[in-house]
């Protein structure tokens, strides 16, 4: 049993129609506006002064200022610390998941034994498990183990979804390469490790990078685990952002600035792997452009 199916290797030929009609163009413009306007508004907001950001008539043109960013990194706001926490937790979880996932995924792809189906199912259902159902017992276990409000605790929490994801998806990427290459390497006298290291690994470079990026995005964007497990010593950016919302009022300039800091790096790394994104996000069920 395996993961890799519904292959659609055929590239689109030159068969495309020029005019989709005025309706299609209007629809596309609207869809684009719907998608982009909130993000543009957020980035603009982060450069607005206190009067402009909550002006009762929306300000598209204003005097830009770095004030919000400066305030976040100085004085009572120690966003640098939270940024640090976010980077350590997300990168840590992504690296560990990708390394163990690459090894495990290769093992899973290149083996056949009776319990393989059950093992695969365990991986996929662990990946799909609702965070709320996982964080609840984890909270008690971590309290017992002294892992609440620590970065290692946060990394372990993120591994509960990143590790099964990485094993599963890497196994899909390895299964996509023909075993004949590795067989001939073995005939030529390579050990199994050499075959893996020099033949299989280079062929799945894109897959490994995609896996690492998605693991990074999943962990970096987490709110559900961090809101329970993190504390003053391990607070991450999304938590810092939500804590700016208080009963007494919200500094929307700072909040849009944090939002921009959280979103921008993920957009950059995410778009960098967009060719393999669809495979990663459908857990290997769809391969495409």
Partner 1 sequence: MSADQTAGQHGPHGGRAATESAGGGAGQVGPGSPGVGPTPVAPPAGQHDRRGSGRITFTGWMMAPGVALLGLLSLIPLVMLIMMSFSRVRLLGGLQLEFVGLENWARAFGDVELWKSWGLTLGYFAATLGLELMLGIAIAVVLNRLTRGRGLLLPLILLPMFVAPSIVGLLGRYLLDPTFGLYAQALQGLGVEQDVLGNPVSAFVAVTLMDVWEWTPLIALITLAGLSGVNPSVLEAASIDGADEWKKFWNIVLPSIKPILLVAILIRSMDAVRYFDIISVTTNGGPADATKIVPVRLYEAAFRFFDLGYAAVIGIMMLVLTIMIARLFVGLLSEKETH
Considering only residues 205 through 264, tell me which ones interact with partner 1, judged by CB under 8 A. 217, 220-224, 227-228, 238, 241-242, 245, 250, 252, 255-256, 259, 262-263
Asked if 222 and 134 touch (Cβ cutoff 8 Å), the reply is no
CB–CB of 262/43 below 8 Å?
no
Maximum Cα interatomic distance, the chain, rounded to a whole number of Å:
74
Stretch that binds partner 1, among 18-26, 68-76, 77-85, 203-211 (CB under 8 A): 18-26
Query: Per-residue string for binding with partner 1, 146-165, x by CB under 8 A?
Result: ----------x--xx--xx-
Question: Smaller CB distance to partner 1: residue 70 or 289?
Answer: 289
Axis-axis angle for helices 205-220, 79-109 (nearest 10): 140
1 binds partner 1 (CB under 8 A): yes
Nearer to partner 1, 18 or 75 (CB): 18
Which residue number, 75 or 118, has a Cβ lying nearer to partner 1? 118
* CB distance 238 to 79 below 8 Å: no
DSSP string, 226-271: HHHH--TTT--HHHHHHHT-BTTB--HHHHHHHHHHHHHHHHHHHH
DSSP-based helix, strand, coil % in the chain, nearest 5: 70, 0, 30
Q: Is 54 in the site for partner 1 (CB under 8 A)?
A: yes
CB of 239 to partner 1, least distance (A): 8
201 binds partner 1 per the rule CB under 8 A = no
Binders of partner 1 in range 114-143 (CB under 8 A):
114-115, 117-126, 128-134, 136-141, 143
Segment 62 to 101, residues that bind partner 1, using CB under 8 A: 100-101
Q: Is 43 near partner 1 (CB under 8 A)? A: no
- Give the separation between CA 218 and CA 139, rounded to whole angstroms: 20
What values do phi and psi take at 261, rounded to 5? -65, -35
Nearer to partner 1, 94 or 166 (CB): 166
Contact 167, 108 (CB under 8 A): yes
Single out the segment in contact with partner 1 by CB under 8 A; choices: 40-48, 71-79, 146-154, 204-212. 40-48
């Amino acid at each position: 049993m395996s993961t890799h199916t519904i292959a659609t290797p055929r590239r689109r030929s030159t068969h495309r129609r020029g005019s989709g009609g005025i309706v299609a163009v209007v629809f596309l413009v609207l869809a684009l506006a719907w998608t982009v306007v909130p993000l543009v508004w957020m980035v603009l907001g982060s450069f607005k002064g206190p009067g402009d950001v909550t002006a009762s008539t929306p300000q598209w043109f204003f005097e830009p200022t770095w004030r919000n960013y400066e305030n976040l990194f100085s004085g009572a706001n120690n966003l640098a610390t939270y940024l640090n926490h976010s980077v350590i937790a997300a990168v840590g979880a992504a690296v560990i998941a990708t390394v163990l996932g690459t090894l495990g995924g290769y093992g899973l792809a290149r083996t056949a034994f009776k319990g393989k189906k059950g093992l695969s199912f365990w991986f996929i259902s662990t990946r799909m498990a609702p965070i709320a159902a996982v964080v609840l017992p984890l909270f008690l276990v971590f309290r017992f183990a002294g892992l609440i409000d620590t970065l290692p605790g946060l990394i372990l929490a993120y591994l509960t979804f990143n590790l099964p994801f990485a094993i599963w998806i890497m196994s899909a990427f390895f299964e996509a390469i023909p075993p004949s290459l590795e067989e001939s390497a073995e005939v030529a006298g390579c050990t199994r490790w050499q075959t893996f290291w020099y033949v299989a690994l280079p062929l799945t470079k894109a897959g490994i990078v995609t896996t690492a990026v998605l693991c990074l995005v999943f962990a970096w964007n987490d709110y559900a685990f961090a809101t329970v497990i993190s504390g003053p010593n391990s607070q991450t950016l999304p938590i810092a952002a939500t804590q700016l919302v208080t009963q007494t009022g919200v500094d929307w300039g700072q909040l849009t600035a944090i939002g921009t800091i959280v979103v921008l790096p993920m957009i950059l790394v995410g778009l960098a792997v967009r060719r393999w994104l669809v495979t990663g996000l459908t857990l290997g069920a769809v391969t495409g452009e």
